[in-house]
Amino acid sequence: MDNALSREPVTPARGILAFLTRLRGGQRFSFTDTLTYAYLILGTIVMFGPVVWLAMSSFKTPQALAEFPPSFLPQRTETIVVEGHDRPLELYTVRFESGQTRQLAQISRVGIVARMVDPAVPNEVIEVNINQRTPVRSVVFGFENYTGAIERFPFLTYLRNSVVVTVISTIITLLINSMAAFGLSKYQFRGRNLIFFVILSTLMVPVSVILIPAFLVIAEVGWINSLWGIIIPGAATPTGVFLLRQYMLTIPDELLDSARVDGASEWRIYWQVVLPLAGPALAVLAIFSVMWRWNDFLWPLIVLSRSELFTLQVGLNAFQGELNTQWNYILAMTVLTLLPITVVFALLQRYITTGIATTGMK
Amino acid sequence: MKIRLFFVFAVLIVAFGLIQAQDTPPVELRFTWYNDGNEGEALEKLLTQFEEANPGIDVIVDTVAYGDLHTTLQTQVEAGDPPDLARITDVARFAGSYLDLSEYSANAEAYTENFPAQVLASLRAEGDETGIYGFPTQFTITAPFINVTLFEQAGIEIPDGSETTWPEWIALATEVAQATETPYAVAIEPRGHRFWGFSIPFGATYVNEDGSFTVDTEGFRAAAGEIQRWHEEGITPPEIWATTDLQVARDAFINGQVVLLYSGSFVLQQFDAAIGDTFDWRVIPNPQPEEGGVRTGIPGGAVAVAFAGTEHPEEVAMLMDFLSSADALRQFSAETLFIPGHLGLIEEGIEYPNQNDNLNTLLAEIPLISDQAYALQYSPYTFVLNPAITSRMSQVIAGELTLDDALIAIQEEMDTKIAEAQAAAMATPTPTP
Amino acid sequence: MPDSPCLENPMLRKLQALALQLIDPLLSLAELILIPIQRVIGTNRMGYIFVLPNLVIFGVFILLPMLLNFYFGFTRGDSILPENRDWVGNQNLATLLTCEDYLNYRTCEEDLFWRSAGNTATYVVFEVMGVVLFSLITALSLNQKVRGRGFFRGVFFYPVLLSPVVVALIWKWILQHQNGVINSILVALGGEKIPFLVDPNWSFFWVVVIGIWAQMGFYTLILLAGLQAIPNEYYEAAAIDGANPWAKFWYLTLPLLMPTMTVVLVLSLIRAVQVFDTVFVLTGGGPGTATLYIIQYIYQKAFDLREYGMAASASLVLAVVLFALTMMQLLARRRENTGLETHG
Per the structure, how many domains does chain B have?
2
Contact assignment for C150 to A40 by CB distance below 8 Å? no
B386 and B283 co-located in one domain = yes
Q: Centre a 10 Å sphere on the Cβ of residue A72 and count the other Cβ atoms it contains.
A: 11
B163 and B270 co-located in one domain = yes
B382 and B259 co-located in one domain = yes
Query: At residue B189, does pLDDT exceed 90?
Result: yes
Q: Which residues of B touch C24 (CB under 8 A)?
A: 4
Listed residues B366, B393, B412: the one ending a domain: B366
Print the domain residue range for B238. Answer: 142-298+368-424
Query: At residue C343, does pLDDT exceed 70?
Result: no
B157 and B270 co-located in one domain = yes
Looking at residues B187-214, what average pLDDT do you find?
A: 93
The C-alpha atoms of residue B325 and residue B337 are separated, in whole angstroms, by: 17
pLDDT of residue B428: 52
pTM of the model: 0.82
Compare CB distances from A325 to B30, B62, B247 and report the shortest one's residue.
B247
* A130-134, A320-324, B49-53, B270-274: the lowest-pLDDT one: A320-324
Residue B125 banded pLDDT, cuts 50, 70, 90: confident
pLDDT of residue C314: 92
pLDDT of residue A130: 75
Residue B389 belongs to a domain: yes
B215 and B333 co-located in one domain = no
DSSP codes joined into one string, B266-299: GGHHHHHHHHTTSS-EEE-PPPBP-TT----PPE
The model's pLDDT over B43-74, given as tens digits with 9 standing for 90+, comes to 999 999 999 999 889 999 988 888 788 888 88
Sign (positive/negative) of CA torsion B36, B41, B45, B50? positive
Residue B431 belongs to a domain: no
B191 and B118 co-located in one domain = no
Residue A79 region, left (φ>0) first, then alpha (ψ -120 to 50), else beta? Answer: beta
Query: At residue A72, does pLDDT exceed 60?
Result: yes
Looking at residues A242-261, what average pLDDT do you find?
A: 89
Chain centre to alpha carbon of residue C33:
40
The C-alpha atoms of residue A180 and residue A236 are separated, in whole angstroms, by: 9
Main-chain dihedrals φ then ψ at residue B304, nearest 5 degrees: -90, 130
pLDDT of residue B222: 96
Looking at residues A270-292, what average pLDDT do you find?
A: 86
* A271-285, A347-361, B133-147: the lowest-pLDDT one: A347-361
* A70-84, B224-238, B295-309: the lowest-pLDDT one: A70-84
Listed residues B366, B383, B400: the one ending a domain: B366
Output A262 or A355, whichever has higher pLDDT: A262
B322 and B243 co-located in one domain = no
Contact assignment for C200 to B398 by CB distance below 8 Å? yes
Q: Which residues of A touch B83 (CB under 8 A)?
A: 305
pLDDT of residue A338: 87
pLDDT of residue A360: 52
Residue B115 belongs to a domain: yes
pLDDT of residue A184: 93
Q: Which of B115, B122, B179, B110 is nearest to B147 (CA)?
A: B179
Output B433 or C89, whichever has higher pLDDT: C89
DSSP codes joined into one string, B51-91: HHHSTTEEEEEEE--HHHHHHHHHHHHHTT---SEEEES-G
Q: Which of A65, A78, A138 is nearest to A105 (CA)?
A: A78
Q: Across chain A, what does the average pLDDT equal?
A: 80
pLDDT of residue C197: 87
pLDDT of residue A16: 47
B410 and B373 co-located in one domain = yes
Residue B81 belongs to a domain: yes
Beta partners for residue A133, in sequence order: A94
Task: Please report, for residues B89, B173, B359, the alpha-carbon distance to residue B139 in angstroms, rounded to integers and kept in the order given.
Answer: 11, 28, 12
Q: Centre a 10 Å sphere on the Cβ of residue A118 and count the other Cβ atoms it contains.
A: 16
Report the gap between the CA of A68 and the closest CA in chain B (Å): 13
B192 and B290 co-located in one domain = yes
* B8-17, B48-57, C169-178, C312-321: the lowest-pLDDT one: B8-17
Residue ranges of domains in chain A: 3-57, 79-135, 153-322
Look up the CATH number of domain A79-135: 2.30.30
In the three-class reduction of DSSP (H, G, I as helix; E, B as strand; rest coil), residue A218 is classed as helix
Q: Are C3 and A362 in contact (CB under 8 A)?
A: no
User: Counting beta carbons within 10 angstroms of the beta carbon of residue B216, is it exposed (0 to 12), middle (13 to 18) or buried (19 or more)?
Assistant: middle
Q: Which of C71, C95, C91 is nearest to C81 (CA)?
A: C71
Which helix (H) or strand (E) covers residue B367, if one does? none
Could you tell me whether strands B85-88 and B27-33 are parallel, antiparallel, or unpaired per DSSP bridges? parallel
The structural domains of chain C, ordered by start, are: 1-42 (no CATH), 90-336 (1.10.3720.10)
User: The domain spanning residue B323 has which CATH number?
Assistant: 3.40.190.10
| Max mean pLDDT range (B136-140, B414-418, C29-33, C247-251) | B136-140
In the three-class reduction of DSSP (H, G, I as helix; E, B as strand; rest coil), residue C232 is classed as helix
The model's pLDDT over B217-237, given as tens digits with 9 standing for 90+, comes to 999 999 999 999 999 999 999
Chain centre to alpha carbon of residue C273:
8
Q: Centre a 10 Å sphere on the Cβ of residue B397 and count the other Cβ atoms it contains.
A: 27
Contact assignment for A302 to B83 by CB distance below 8 Å? no
Q: Centre a 10 Å sphere on the Cβ of residue C280 and count the other Cβ atoms it contains.
A: 22
Residue B10 belongs to a domain: no
Task: Please report, for residues B51, C122, C219, C237, C240, the alpha-carbon distance to residue C233 in angstroms, rounded to integers and kept in the order given.
Answer: 80, 41, 25, 6, 11
Query: At residue B433, does pLDDT exceed 50?
Result: no
* Residue A226 contacts B where some CB pair is shorter than 8 Å: yes
Query: At residue B13, does pLDDT exceed 70?
Result: no
Residue B360 belongs to a domain: yes
pLDDT of residue A88: 79
Task: Please report, for residues B136, B254, B268, B339, C4, the alpha-carbon distance to residue B140 in angstroms, rounded to integers and kept in the order given.
Answer: 10, 20, 10, 7, 65
B167 and B134 co-located in one domain = no
Listed residues B341, B366, B391: the one ending a domain: B366
DSSP codes joined into one string, C145-203: S-TTHHHHHHHHHGGGGS-HHHHHHHHHHHT-TTT-HHHHHHHHTT-----TTTSHHHH
Main-chain dihedrals φ then ψ at residue B207, nearest 5 degrees: -95, 130
**Would you tell me which residues 369-408 of chain B have a C-beta closer than 8 angstroms to some C-beta of chain C?**
384, 387, 391, 394-401, 405
Contact assignment for B398 to C303 by CB distance below 8 Å? no
The C-alpha atoms of residue C255 and residue B250 are separated, in whole angstroms, by: 56
Query: At residue A22, does pLDDT exceed 60?
Result: no
pLDDT of residue A28: 55
**Nearest residue in chain C measured CA to CA from A54:** C170
pLDDT of residue B432: 40
Find which of B78, B90, B381, B418 to mutate to test the C interface (most C CBs within 10 Å of its CB): B78
Output C114 or B64, whichever has higher pLDDT: C114
Main-chain dihedrals φ then ψ at residue B58, nearest 5 degrees: -120, 120
Contact assignment for A203 to C224 by CB distance below 8 Å? no
Compare CB distances from B4 to C25, C197, C287 and report the shortest one's residue.
C25
Beta partners for residue B142, in sequence order: B264
Residue B390 belongs to a domain: yes
B180 and B267 co-located in one domain = yes
* Alpha helices (H) along chain C: 5-8, 10-41, 46-58, 64-72, 91-97, 111-142, 149-157, 164-174, 181-188, 200-228, 232-240, 245-248, 254-273, 277-282, 294-303, 308-336
Q: Centre a 10 Å sphere on the Cβ of residue B378 and count the other Cβ atoms it contains.
A: 18
pLDDT of residue B191: 93
Residue type, position B425, single letter: A
pLDDT of residue A3: 41
Looking at chain A, which runs of residues are DSSP E strands?
A: 75-77, 79-80, 89-95, 101-110, 113-118, 121-129, 133-135, 137-139
CB within 8 A of B3, min separation 6: which ones?
Answer: none
Q: Across chain B, what does the average pLDDT equal?
A: 87
Looking at residues A65-94, what average pLDDT do you find?
A: 78
CB within 8 A of A252, min separation 6: which ones?
Answer: none
* Residue A212 contacts C where some CB pair is shorter than 8 Å: yes
Report the gap between the CA of B39 and the closest CA in chain A (Å): 11
Contact assignment for B245 to C284 by CB distance below 8 Å? yes
Query: At residue B321, does pLDDT exceed 80?
Result: yes
Query: At residue C192, does pLDDT exceed 80?
Result: yes
Output B237 or A145, whichever has higher pLDDT: B237
Query: At residue C109, does pLDDT exceed 90?
Result: no
Task: Please report, for residues A167, A244, A248, C16, the alpha-carbon distance to residue A283 in angstroms, rounded to integers and kept in the order given.
Answer: 14, 10, 14, 10
Q: Are C108 and C98 in contact (CB under 8 A)?
A: yes
Beta partners for residue B27, in sequence order: B57
The model's pLDDT over C120-165, given as tens digits with 9 standing for 90+, comes to 999 999 999 999 999 999 999 998 888 888 889 889 999 998 988 8
Residue C5 banded pLDDT, cuts 50, 70, 90: very low
Output C51 or A206, whichever has higher pLDDT: C51
The model's pLDDT over A154-203, given as tens digits with 9 standing for 90+, comes to 888 999 999 999 999 999 999 999 999 999 999 988 889 999 888 877 77
* A42-46, B272-276, C53-57: the lowest-pLDDT one: B272-276
CATH domain A153-322 topology: MetI-like fold (1.10.3720)
Query: At residue A112, does pLDDT exceed 90?
Result: no
Q: Are A361 and C229 in contact (CB under 8 A)?
A: yes
Looking at residues C230-249, what average pLDDT do you find?
A: 84
* Residue A221 contacts B where some CB pair is shorter than 8 Å: no
B340 and B387 co-located in one domain = no
Contact assignment for B400 to C22 by CB distance below 8 Å? no
